[in-house]
């Protein structure tokens, strides 16, 4: 298999088995239609991007039943508010300027820009409608170069482009990057936030690999890919969301070079352009699976789960943990409740039953929200799945 970005032959480092679409929670009468995809992880020795092998069709993931709503976490709402403040206070968006968010979900971020020229681009109809109903201006489309041309024709070029946990999802990366470059004004900036490959490596959080996330970037890979597409990585910051993320600030290539001192730190501390790091990671993943299964078998089917995350789909299907080991998973998202988890078909139940049931041993699948969730239960033995 060749790299989707630079066409170099990829090197495989991890096989997570056959996996269903990670966020596709199912009604009990719909199980026969479920499809599985081989989740293998690859490293590109040329541009250093990590990417998955087989991908479902994007329309099968992002449609009118998309189960991820940005607004489910109060912490994330605050996080987006702070990013909006940074954009406003840092004068990145001039008076009368234009901001575009790609992957605008239910509008949680863009609601901070009511009254400004803004546009969300979101392919999943259900979340997009939620945003529009709340007065956020949106285009219900998959972003690519062609859509960038259309936006430019109608609205003009953007001062600020934002992608948060969306850029890794967009399989047509070449077209997306050409589109972003075109859409960005000569003085414009693109702010992209995504799970940081270095954090995934450090925590060995292999559950962040699922078929919605096609690509994973290190600082080195992002910088290299930007150059390939006539852009320049101008600044980077670590962000404490989604288990450790990185925020990349990108400009056109001909803008003044960055004088951001932290850039050197990333360069110095990262070592993610060598394949053996990934081979070692794969060995640790196997150990983690063993440890998790031992713990589950010791509890003899008396464990429950908290947070029906996409991440849980990877762990449950890789470890083959079904209702014989985890009875149910509690979650606050209405569209997931009353359905079954992808692949292993564990019932998803409303969060309010958690207090009533008062479970003792709970697998925290939403470990990235641990601070927010730990407040919810007393006397619980929380178990990490990874
Ligand atoms: P998320 O962090 O988006 O993880 P992923 O990208 O792997 O799906 O999902 C968090 C899930 O946890 C989401 O389904 C909502 C749920 N949740 C709760 O049930 N209770 C909570 O207090 C929080 C913060 C999240």
* Res 374 pLDDT > 80: no
**Cβ-contact 301, 322 below 8 angstroms:** no
Helix, strand, coil shares, percent, the chain, to 5: 35, 25, 35
Gap from CA of 352 to ligand 1 centroid (Å) = 15
Gap from CA of 362 to ligand 1 centroid (Å) = 15
pLDDT (mean) for 84-113: 96
Residue whose C-alpha is closest to residue 68's, from 363, 308, 240: 308
Q: Whose CA is nearest to atom 9 of ligand 1?
A: 309
Per DSSP, the three-state class of 336 is coil
pLDDT for 277-297, tens place per residue?
999 999 999 999 999 999 999
Q: Whose CA is nearest to atom 4 of ligand 1?
A: 309
Distance CA 355, CA 359 (A): 8
Token pair in block for residue 344: 């292993």
Residue whose C-alpha is closest to residue 258's, from 240, 231, 228: 231
Gap from CA of 75 to ligand 1 centroid (Å) = 11
Distance CA 64, CA 288 (A): 35
Given this model, what pLDDT does residue 364 score? Answer: 97
Backbone angles phi, psi at 365, to 5 degrees: -75, -30
Gap from CA of 38 to ligand 1 centroid (Å) = 25
Distance CA 131, CA 107 (A): 5
Strand partners, 139: 121
Gap from CA of 384 to ligand 1 centroid (Å) = 15
Gap from CA of 17 to ligand 1 centroid (Å) = 24
| Residue 260 binned pLDDT confidence (cut-offs 50, 70, 90) | confident
* Res 357 pLDDT > 90: yes
pLDDT for 48-75, tens place per residue?
999 999 999 999 999 999 988 899 889 9
Q: Whose CA is nearest to atom 24 of ligand 1?
A: 73
Gap from CA of 366 to ligand 1 centroid (Å) = 5
pLDDT for 303-355, tens place per residue?
999 999 999 999 999 999 999 999 999 999 999 999 999 999 999 999 999 98
Token pair in block for residue 376: 């919810």
Residue 210 CA: nearest ligand 1 atom is 7
Sheet strand arrangement including 117-121: 138-139, 117-121, 98-102, 158-164, 184-195, 245-252, 231-239
Pocket test for ligand 1, best of 22, 62, 67, 72 (most atoms within 8 A of CB): 72
* Res 298 pLDDT > 90: yes
Given this model, what pLDDT does residue 173 score? Answer: 98
pLDDT for 321-333, tens place per residue?
999 999 999 999 9
pLDDT for 184-212, tens place per residue?
999 999 999 999 999 999 999 999 999 99
Residue 309 CA: nearest ligand 1 atom is 8
Q: Is the CB of 71 under 6 A from ligand 1?
A: no
Given this model, what pLDDT does residue 304 score? Answer: 98
Distance CA 39, CA 14 (A): 8
Given this model, what pLDDT does residue 258 score? Answer: 78
Pocket test for ligand 1, best of 74, 369, 375 (most atoms within 8 A of CB): 369
**Cβ-contact 342, 21 below 8 angstroms:** yes
| Residue 262 binned pLDDT confidence (cut-offs 50, 70, 90) | confident
């Amino acid at each position: 298999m060749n790299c989707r970005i630079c066409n170099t032959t990829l090197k495989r480092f991890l096989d997570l088995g056959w996996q269903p679409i990670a966020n596709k929670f199912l009604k009990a009468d719909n199980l026969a239609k479920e499809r599985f995809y081989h989740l293998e992880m690859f490293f590109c020795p040329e541009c250093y991007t990590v990417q998955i092998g087989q991908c479902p069709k994007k329309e099968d993931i992002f449609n009118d039943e998309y189960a991820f709503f940005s607004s489910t976490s109060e912490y994330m709402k605050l996080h987006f508010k702070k990013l909006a403040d940074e954009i406003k206070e840092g004068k990145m968006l001039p008076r009368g300027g234009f901001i575009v968010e790609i992957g605008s979900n239910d509008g949680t971020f863009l609601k901070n820009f009511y009254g400004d020229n803004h546009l969300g681009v979101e392919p999943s109809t259900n979340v997009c409608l939620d945003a529009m109903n709340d007065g956020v201006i949106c285009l219900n489309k998959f972003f690519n170069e062609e859509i960038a041309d259309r936006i430019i024709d109608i609205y003009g070029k953007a001062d600020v482009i934002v992608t948060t946990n969306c850029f890794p999802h967009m399989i047509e990366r070449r077209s997306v990057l050409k589109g972003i470059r075109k859409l960005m004004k000569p003085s414009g900036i693109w702010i992209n936030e995504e799970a940081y490959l270095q954090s995934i490596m450090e925590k060995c959080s292999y559950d962040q690999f699922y078929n919605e996330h096609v690509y994973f970037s290190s600082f080195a890979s992002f910088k290299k890919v930007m150059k390939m597409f006539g852009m320049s990585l101008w600044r980077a910051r670590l962000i404490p969301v989604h288990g450790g993320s990185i925020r990349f600030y990108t400009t056109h290539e001909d803008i003044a070079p960055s004088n951001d001192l932290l850039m050197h730190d990333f360069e110095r501390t990262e070592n993610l352009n060598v394949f053996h790091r990934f081979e070692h990671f794969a060995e640790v993943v196997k150990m983690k699976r063993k440890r998790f299964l031992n713990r589950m078998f010791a509890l003899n089917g008396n464990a429950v789960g908290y947070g029906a995350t996409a991440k849980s789909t990877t762990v449950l299907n890789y470890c083959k943990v079904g209702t014989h080991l985890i009875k149910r998973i509690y979650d606050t998202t209405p569209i997931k409740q009353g359905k079954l988890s992808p692949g292993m078909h564990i019932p998803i139940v409303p969060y309010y039953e958690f207090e009533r049931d008062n479970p003792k041993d709970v697998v925290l699948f939403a470990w990235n929200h641990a601070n927010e969730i730990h407040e919810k239960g007393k006397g619980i033995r929380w178990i990490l799945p990874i």
